[in-house]
Structures are given as structure tokens and as C-alpha cells.
Chain A
Amino acid sequence: MNPVRHRLRDPITGLLFVLPMLVLFLIFKIFPTLGAAGMSLTNWNIGGEWDFIGADNYTRLVNDPNFWSSLRATLVYTAIYVPLVVLVSLGTALLLNAIVFMRGLFRGILFLPYVTSFVFAGLIWRWIYEFDGLINGLLAKLDIAPVAFMERSELVLPALALVSCWKGFGYSMLILLAGLKAIPGSYLEAARVDGASAWQRFRSITLPLLKPALFFVLVIETIASFQVFDTIYVMTGGGPAKASYTLIYGIFERGFRFWEFGYAATWGMVLFAVVLVVSLIQRRFVGRENT
């Protein structure tokens, strides 16, 4: 074969093979990303007319009490959801790792909710939390007065975090289980021979060796918690009194209820910044792990 032709054939076919995905990316990922930054500097509205208004949207954002309360709701939700889901997935992963008989069955059951949608989870749990729903029905049997989970500002975020945890912990559980399986049994056995207690073995062998997997789980769950939307849309609509009005809900409402596209894009930029910071922290730490 002619080596020159060969050398030419490679770049051209390479480009042709990438082309379909590249076009999709340019139009639907890169252009909208740049567009979001651009739109946040305009007063773009539903009619499609717009003027460049500089940083006005950002000034408005900083003075918007809705924005600060939504940022607060998002962070409170994250502060509840992330520890909850990490504890549940770590706990179940440790349990699964300690058994042999019927492990596959338990693993399957615990993973099951992961394949369903957040809309599905939201609908079921709306009924569970309802005034005449499952939890209050059980409480009534114990002669406890019903609790309006979806109508009390201090309960709505924990209640939503529990729904997401139920739906999603199976994923992190599998990641941590794989991490646990990768820990050589001889380490733990040696520690046992030396008389280390179960807690000491967990504390000084399992936990340090599980750190990369735990860190991965921590980061993806944190990012997931910033993006919670479906359950809020189905269960609370941002209420009560905006207690569950998160950043994404703000983007959605500004954009598709008030049709203020420019201002909604500004909310989106904040979300982008928050997620970017978490991703960069992850990259930094993961980079350090590898070197």
C-alpha cells in the first residue's frame, strides 16, 4: 500500500467518523453554553427581541431575595441529601460486602428504585407523605397526630432528600461495593490476627482504602443534589412559601413561567459556576490521588 495515501486516508476518515457527533456537540452543547453566557447579558424575552444590558441581570440577581432564598434552599438540601445518601449507600455496601448467601438478591432489591424515574418516585412519595397517605396512616395506628410533610417549610427539604435517597442510593452503593471488594482480604485478616477490633479494622484499613470510591460518590451526589428538579416539580411546586424553591426551579420558573429568558440564563450561570467549582475541586483531588 502507498504509505502517503495511507497517511492521508487516516486523518480524513478520522474526521469523517467524528463529524456527526462533532456537529451535534457544536450546535447543542458548545453553542448553548456560550449562548447562556451571552444571554445573561441581555433582556431577552419571549418575543425574541433583546437589548444588550450589560451586567444588569447580575445586579438584579444579587438584589433578588428569591435568588438568595433559592441558593439557601439548594445548599440546605445538599447538606441534608449528601450525608444521608452517603451513609445509606456506605451502610448497605458494607452489609452486602459482609454476606455471601443471597447477596445478589439483596443487591438487586436495594438497587431496584434506581431504574425508575424521579417523576415516578415523586408521585409515589407524594401519596406516602400525603395528609391521608401511607406515613400518616401508620402514625394514626400509633395514635400519633398526622404530619403535613409537604406543607411545613422545615420538613419539606428533608422529605424531598429522602425521596431522592430512596431513588438513587443504589447507584452509590454499587460504586462503594466495588471499592470494598477491591480491598485485599489479607489486610483485614492480618489486622484481625493482630487483635484489631471490627471498628479499628474499619477505621484504619477499610476507610482509607475506600477513600477514592467515597470521594467519587461524594462529588457525583453533590452535583446531583444541585440539579434536583423533577421531584420538586411533581411534589411541591417550589413550596410551601418557596421553601423548596431551588436554583433549577428558579431557572425553570423565570424561563417558562415569566418568559424572562435573559434573567433565567443568569440563574443558569450561577448553577454552572457552583457545579464548576465542585468539579474543579474533584479534578484537583483526583489528580493528587493519581500522582
Chain B
Amino acid sequence: MTLTAARPAAARTGRPAPAPRRRGRRWALYTLLTVMSLLTMGPFVAMLVVALSPRGEPTLPARWPASLTFDNIAQVLNASGFAEWTINSLVYSAVSVVIILLTASMAGYAFAKKRFPGRDAMLWTFLATMMVPFQATLIPLYVLVSDFGGADTFWGLIVPTLANSQAVFLMRQFILGLPDELFDAAKVDGASELRVYWTIVVPLTKPILATLGVFVFLWHWNDFLWPLVISQSDATRTLTVGLTVLKTEEMQWATLMSSAAVSAVPCLLVFFLLQRYLVNSIAMTGLK
């Protein structure tokens, strides 16, 4: 592919491609990229090796382990709390994905295609809240939620994280691009508003809903500060918080690395299944 791309260019400029120099350049490019990739992957590989090393036997960084075992992983999976934390993280992420996709696409639709009093003011307020860092509102949010008995409950964990302006904006921008005629036609046919939303808006926004869903899942699965302050027992503690509790109780690196590895499995699954999707959408949507 590189050759076919290079040849017409050389032909256009009317001079032969400087072949040896270009080959040297390509070597340099691939060498640099390989070095960067090794540096990026190194921590993952080292983590896996330590996680799979038999207990009490020499392992990295002194030497490669003589054999590998799944004992540590099995032990982590059976450890008290770990299964609970995993389920809590799944609930936290899955419920948030469903509700945010629903409420954000509804609000996005209204902001994009409806006229109602105060619409623009509301939109600007939503936009302005993006500039407020979550951590600056952490204290009042905690006081508010715990005053209503939300500390260490699922609703206290989940509901405050559902107000997501990025999601609303993304949906609005996408729905703005859909032709008005679609909605007018449906209205002329006498479709109810809910029907229009469910049979026109939702199907047509599927690609952007999927992208948003992936991001919301990652945000919540990897979230730390809010679960840290609001979950106080294993009943609602998520995996990220659990990992730091584990840290203080158990100092075996093999155990720590195994639990870290297990905790990252859903993210890595998302990555391997939806990589192309994720990668292409970042530049398009600016979601972070």
C-alpha cells in the first residue's frame, strides 16, 4: 500500500523517489513506534506476569517466573467482597448507561427540534455547568445526598452522576442534523410524541447512542472519587474503591496485580470489541 501511494506522487513531481533514504526513514518510524508500543504495553505485561506468578517464588523484577498459575486470580475472585464490588460496579455502570441514554436523548431531542419557553436559557445553563469541576461541588453534593439518607445506598451512588451535560450536548448536536421533514411527516400521520421519539429519534440516533453508551460505561466503571466518599461498606462499594481497601489489608503484590487485572477486564473487553468504534468517535465527538 505504501508503494502504490508513493509511486504516483513521485511520478507527479517528475523525479524518481529517493528510495534508500525513504526506506531508512520508514525503518526509523517503525522502530520509534515499536519502542513507544513496548513502553505502553510493558506495564500490562509485567502486571500479568506478577499476577500469574506462583506465590513465594521469585518473579519480576528479579527474573521471569519458572511457571505460571491462575491460583492468585482464583483466590482474588473468591476473596470476601470482590464479587460484591464487581456486581456493584456493574449495577453502577449499567443503570447509569440506560438512564443517561434515555434522559439525554429525550432532552437532546427537545433542545434540537422543539420550541418551548426558556429553551435557550436552559441550554446555556447546561453548557455553563460543564465549566464547574465535579470536585468543586463534591462537598455540597455529599451533604445533600447524605442528608436525604443516600449515603451507602445505590440511589445515592447512581442518581447524582446522571446529570451529564456532555451527553445532552452530544445528543442535541446529532439530532439537529436530522431533517425536520421526518418529524413533520410523522406528526401529519398523527403519531404521538412518544411514538415519534421511540420510532424515529431512537433508531436514527443508534450509532451515537452506542458511542455514548460505551463512554458512559467507561466513565462509571472507572469512576473513583464519588464512590469513594458515598459508599461506606461492601454493600455499595464499587471495584475501584474496593481495590484501594484491598491495598491496605493485603500487601501481596501478586494479589494486588491479580485484582487490578480482573478489574480491568470489562474495559479491555469494551476496547477489543469496540476499538474501531471508540477510536473513530473520539475525534468526531470530543467526548472525554
Contacts and interface: CB of A to CB of B under 8 A. Distances in A.
Interface of A: 1, 6, 9-18, 20-22, 24-25, 27-33, 35-36, 38-39, 44, 48, 91-92, 95-96, 98-101, 104, 106-113, 115-121, 123-125, 127-128, 130, 132-138, 140, 166, 171, 174-175, 177-178, 189, 192-193, 216, 220, 223, 226-227, 229-230, 233-234, 248, 251-252, 255-256, 261, 264-265, 268-269, 271-272, 275-276, 279
Given A17-B114, A21-B104, A134-B46, A92 B36 contact: yes
B163 A28 contact: yes
A166 B40 contact: yes
Contacts of B247: 123, 234
B235 interface: no
A121 to B, nearest CB: 8
A177 B114 CA distance: 36
B136 to A, nearest CB: 4
Contact of A256 (B39, B43, B229, B243): B229
B116 interface: yes
Interface of B is mostly: helix
A229 B225 contact: yes
Given A115-B271, A116-B264, A256-B229, A229 B224 contact: yes
Contacts of B253: 127, 130
Which among B9, B129, B197, B282 has the highest number of chain A CB atoms within 10 Å? B282
Given A112-B40, A174-B283, A229-B224, A193 B13 contact: yes
A137 B60 contact: yes
B131 A279 contact: yes
B282 A171 contact: yes
B138 interface: yes
A230 B12 CA distance: 54
Interface of B: 1-2, 5, 9, 12-13, 26, 29-30, 32-33, 36-37, 39-41, 43-44, 46-47, 50, 60-62, 102-104, 106-107, 109-111, 114-117, 119, 122, 125-126, 129, 131-144, 147, 159-160, 162-163, 165, 168, 187-188, 193, 197, 218, 221-225, 228-229, 240, 243-244, 247, 253, 256-257, 260, 263-264, 267-268, 270-271, 275-276, 278-279, 282-284, 286, 288
A222 B102 CA distance: 32
Contact of B168 (A21, A101, A124, A136): A21
A230 B2 contact: no
Contacts of A38: 140
Contacts of B40: 109-110, 112-113, 166
21 contacts: A11-B116, A18-B107, A22-B122, A29-B165, A35-B141, A39-B140, A95-B29, A96-B33, A100-B1, A108-B279, A109-B37, A113-B40, A116-B222, A127-B257, A128-B43, A130-B253, A171-B288, A178-B283, A230-B224, A271-B133, A279-B131
Given A17-B107, A127-B253, A101 B2 contact: yes
B111 A9 contact: no
Contact of B107 (A21, A175, A272): A21
Contacts of B32: 95
A10 B114 contact: yes
Contact of B163 (A25, A96, A264, A265): A25
Contacts of B275: 108, 111
